[in-house]
Structure 1
């Protein structure tokens, strides 16, 4: 007897957890297939959540009803707001996570979730009939059927571990790899390619001396990812991270042994992440630099090892030991886990619809590193969207498609399906042309309504959000009404601090528009500010000081939205569109954009091609 589910999610990493939880919470009978219960939501690489762009994705996941933000807040060891000295469009939260507690938190949530069943097995094959997925076959031969399948296989798809000259089939941490899914996809005509990533060594804490390392403390600001987390008190008893630099001796060791690296010996033929390269790659690419930054980070309060951030390598272990002991304070270091590189299969994401459903296989969705991305946050964002859209398809509803001006998640998915990937994709603030709209402080304003309408935000949380926004609006109204004279206590305080010299009466809003004024100084003198959370205060400052820029940006977005509304018929024959460039014709056939806006963002499609396409649509589909 085979089991029947609405949704099957293959893989219990960060994408799989969000996908499975979303489907189950949308009342779909869901199966999560993962070989080990205690490996759900594991952090096989860096023990942190967030960072530039990524931290905003975590806030967006929370605003839509996902779980990552809550888990990150509950298990944080250290909190920082990055880029705070720069413009608000690039501010982002990052936490150092307790990787043991993070996984335990997520495992508990998964196991207690209604409508969600964990199947501890390997999915060895997909059941595909008439270009539609019908279920999966487990490694024990059992058949599990479903209306939709979400693939979140991470780096486990036909994966191989590489260290020096050694190469063997394995997933991270010597876990079994999955080979059958790759063959199923190839047989169904799906284009696959190979990417690689890596991880640094872990070093026993009691074997190193960090007395000369630079301490990297967290911040005492009131920060959190999740809307539901108490923001009135900062994280207490934060753990220290440390900064050291490699030495000229480290560089010499690598140069003398470069051919022993899996990456430079010819063993690795796949492409690795540009923004997280192996240490030997740094030495080659930046040959003039004698030293490089290395961050020493805790993995868990219960752990006994440091994570050596920025020191990934595929060198053999004897060379790794020389490299490690060339670092300052690591002269007697003992290794708990060696670094390695890992190669794995992923799909060309240009084969996906914006819903993350494969174009050529109905009801089959993919999310995470199988789509050519890197990072826990990117994976979780895709997993959430795949879980939402698989559920909505089963219900006969339109998919949720986030625009580039609505979310970094929208930027990421749009990049993947229209531009493709030639190396592991990483979200960066520079990828978002509307980043002033996609800020850390306004994720709720952008996405909370959507989360509520979909059904992932509860009535209680939504009402709390409505109160949250009302408090912001009430505060702005009060700031517009309240006035301060040059002799007021606030004016005197601002002058003492050198933040402003009020020569005449000012409203609260006028004072706040002065760039040098810190809103924290105003709080004791403006009642409505006293009860606001950090994010609310940020929103008020940003909306006040950047109102003109935001207005201009929104006008630009409105023009772009008009292009999104110009639909392209599914039956269009691009060979009939005259004067299209050859590359544009090929790309349009491959991507099959749904509208003119999407077509305009495809690499190789130029404005002249869009004009030809618009002309053709006007003449050929005028009455349709």
Structure 2
């Protein structure tokens, strides 16, 4: 029997696995990344994009903590767009159309060039566990990989099956390999598994589609990037176009007449799919009165010859898919490169996890990504980064990195998973964050950069650059408070001519920015401190000034809530001894094992009255601890 020794082993080379492995290796641990294929690293089996509402902010958070996704997305972007710019700053977010082939190559290079990291192309057949402590994995060739921590990032490859109409067969995405052994290992450990579903639309040859009637969807003409380190930007005229079309009445009719053939509605699928990225037939069923639906046509790569048909995911058989596609405007003569399909896969109930993403019943076994019941590349990458960091910190006997809900969307994500669980693939939304005015696209560095630096994933040079960046914001705000403009000033005339504001008396620059209709860019020629600032710095300045009162109240609320987070709950507490707890609350507290009162208060089924009973019990039983 061959044994290889590492400190951390990561299973799965998707977006979660890459971030986990890179973080572990960069923190000095000898790390093995085990993937089914050597050349399919951080692949994009579904939508060829990174970011979007909430998700784009997650990518910025990954970058602030020292992860790689933002850099890869910037380096391989075909188009960059700022979404929701006409709405409040709490929902602004970046999205890039990615060159999915180049993105995967970028991450493959990052993995292969990383010190302390070995990429092993093999299949994991089972986990190595002794006395409920993980110590490695067994490979298909009989090799044992021993490690001090194991991170599972298996994506949709866990006991997966492809579905097209009534056709069902064992396979990973795009007819790749799948693995069954890990599911069996988890079941043997008593880990509760769920069965989820996702899907992907067809890819259609570019030269077979007529886009003359489609609406062009360009990117945003501004120097936008995910990563703090990105300094070069692709001008708008060199970015690729996306296109918008609408389905027809004929499309709807085809679905209605063939609904019984869909894997979803024929009884062939028992698993649960994503609510916020449903199959097209699911849209027809949910919204029967809607005659048409938006479809976005997107490029996948400069070296590819197919369009990605966004919003047209389906589990229909191929003959129905062909009718559906040909019913779209401009698709009458289309030729399909890859047909759509649905995929079922195993995942765990994430309420079995601790806040550091370690299983509460198996020491040193961490999970991240779709195995935790989430959807999306961004959610996976963020979890992978946190799991990799916390695996290292567990080995080093250090406190885990646990982000609060007011600190990061990643904090919201993990907190939701472990305290509320999932009943469908979880997707981050801005509405899930109660403190979204604090969790903005522009201030990810301000919120999280110090964590990345103290952990060791942000270099000294980047930390010094960030401090200068933050100082520039503070200095600019101070200058805006000092500089004043009269009604006859050049700035006042410009604002009046553009209909942004009419100055009736003297105003400071700070007071002018408080006017909602004023664009901060108009002040740049008149305030030296604003000149040469990045777009994110200008956004931070405008938001902090314009929403000063709201931001202050939000931070005061957070300060009060943080007190609950500091009220620790002993790990050995016996909830059966806590008097007057509701039965559901007692069951949930025993299952989740919250670390503090704040976490306990967010568990579904635990009410304020239960928290009062718990506080009373802690006061009496643990007063001297």
TM-score by length of 2: 0.99
Name the counterpart of 1:549.
550
Q: Secondary structure at the match of 2:198?
A: strand
Tell me what 1:178 maps to: 179
State the secondary structure of the residue aligned to 1:39: coil
In 2, Cα distance between equivalents of 1:327 and 1:504: 58
Distance 2:563 2:163 in 1: 49
1:240-281 Cα offsets, whole Å, 9 max, x none, are: 111111111111111111111111111110000000000011
Q: Tell me, in whole angstroms, the C-alpha distance in 1 between the residues paired with 2:237 and 2:12.
A: 34
Confirm whether residue 450 of structure 1 aligns to residue 448 of structure 2. no
Cα separation, 1, equivalents of 2:599 and 2:486: 53
Q: Report SS of the residue matched to 1:38.
A: coil
The equivalent of 2:434 in structure 1 is 433
Q: CA deviation at 1:620?
A: 1.0
What's the CA shift for 1:233? 7.1
* Residue pairs, 1:213-252, within 5 angstroms: 213-230=214-231, 234=235, 237-252=238-253
For the Cα contact (< 8 Å) 1:223–1:234, is it kept in 2?
A: no
Q: Give unpaired runs (5+ residues) of structure 1.
A: none
Write the distance in 1 (CA, Å) between the matches of 2:546 and 2:235.
26
Equivalent pairs, count: 624
Distance 2:60 2:570 in 1: 35
Residues 1:414 and 2:401 aligned together: no
Query: Is the 8 Å Cα contact of residues 5 and 29 (structure 1) preserved in structure 2?
Result: yes
| TM-score, with structure 1 as normaliser | 0.99
- Cα offset, 1:303, TM superposition: 1.0
Q: Give the 5 Å matches for 1:230-379.
A: 230=231, 234=235, 237-379=238-380
Aligned to 1:559: 560
Partner secondary structure for residue 238 of structure 2: coil
For residues 186 and 121 of structure 2, the distance between their equivalents in structure 1, rounded to whole angstroms, comes to 22
Aligned 8 A contact 1:15 1:368 in 2: yes
> Is the 2:225–2:233 contact (alpha carbons within 8 Å) kept by the matching residues of 1?
no
Q: Is it true that 1:75 corresponds to 2:85 in the alignment?
A: no
User: Post-superposition shift, 1:575?
Assistant: 0.9
8 Å contact 1:232–1:533 — kept in the other structure? no
- For 1:506, the equivalent position in structure 2 comes to 507
Q: CA deviation at 1:564?
A: 0.5
Contact 2:219 2:236 survives alignment (8 Å) = no
Counterpart of 2:136 in structure 1 is 135
The CA distance in 1 between the partners of 2:195 and 2:93, in whole Å, is 31
Indicate the SS of the match to 1:307.
strand
**1:190 aligned partner:** 191
Mark the runs of 5 or more structure 2 residues left unpaired by the alignment: none
Partner residue of 1:97?
98
Deviation beyond 4 Å, 4+ runs, structure 1: 231-236
Q: Is the 8 A contact 2:63 2:69 kept in 1?
A: yes
Tell me the alpha carbon deviations over residues 70-97 of structure 1, each in whole angstroms, 9 at most, x when there is no partner: 0000111111111111110110110110
Asked if residue 517 in structure 1 is aligned to residue 541 in structure 2, the reply is no
- Aligned-residue CA RMSD (Å): 0.9
Q: Which residue pairs with 1:398 in the alignment? A: 399
**Quick one: distance in 2 between partners of 1:355 and 1:379?**
15
Kindly state the Cα deviation for residue 487 of structure 1 after the two structures are TM-superposed.
1.6
Aligned residue for 1:153, secondary structure, equals coil
The superposition leaves residues 29-85 of structure 1 with CA deviations (integer Å, 9 ceiling, x where unpaired) of 000001212210100000000000000000000000000000000111111111111
Instruction: Name 1:618's counterpart in structure 2.
Output: 619
Secondary structure of the residue that 1:31 maps to in structure 2?
strand
SS in 2 for 1:150: strand
| Cα distance in 1 for residues equivalent to 2:57 and 2:8 | 28
Distance in 2 between the 1:232 and 1:143 partners?
46
Matched, 1:145 2:146: yes
The CA distance in 2 between the partners of 1:402 and 1:102, in whole Å, is 28
Deviation of 1:8 after TM superposition, in Å, equals 0.3
- Residue aligned with 1:343, SS: strand
Asked if 2 retains the 8 angstrom alpha-carbon contact of 1:222 and 1:235, the reply is no
- Partner of 1:469 in structure 2? 470
On the 8 A contact 1:231/1:534 being kept in 2, the answer is: no
Q: Take 1:35 and 1:585, find their aligned partners in 2: how far apart are those partners? A: 42
Write the distance in 1 (CA, Å) between the matches of 2:384 and 2:484: 49
Residues 467-505 of structure 1: CA deviation (Å, up to 9, x unaligned): 100111111111111111122111111111111111221
What CA distance in whole angstroms lies between the structure 2 residues aligned with 1:105 and 1:233?
18
Aligned pairs for 1:28-39 (under 5 A) are 28-39=29-40
- Does the CA contact (< 8 Å) of 1:223 and 1:231 recur in 2? no
1:606 aligns with 607
2:520 & 2:105 partners in 1: Cα distance?
Answer: 39
**What is the CA-CA distance between 1:232 and the residue it aligns to?**
7.2
Q: Which stretch of the first structure deviates more once superposed, 110-119 or 34-43?
A: 34-43
Encode CA deviations 1:561-599: one digit per residue, 9 max, x unaligned.
100011111111111111111110110010010100000
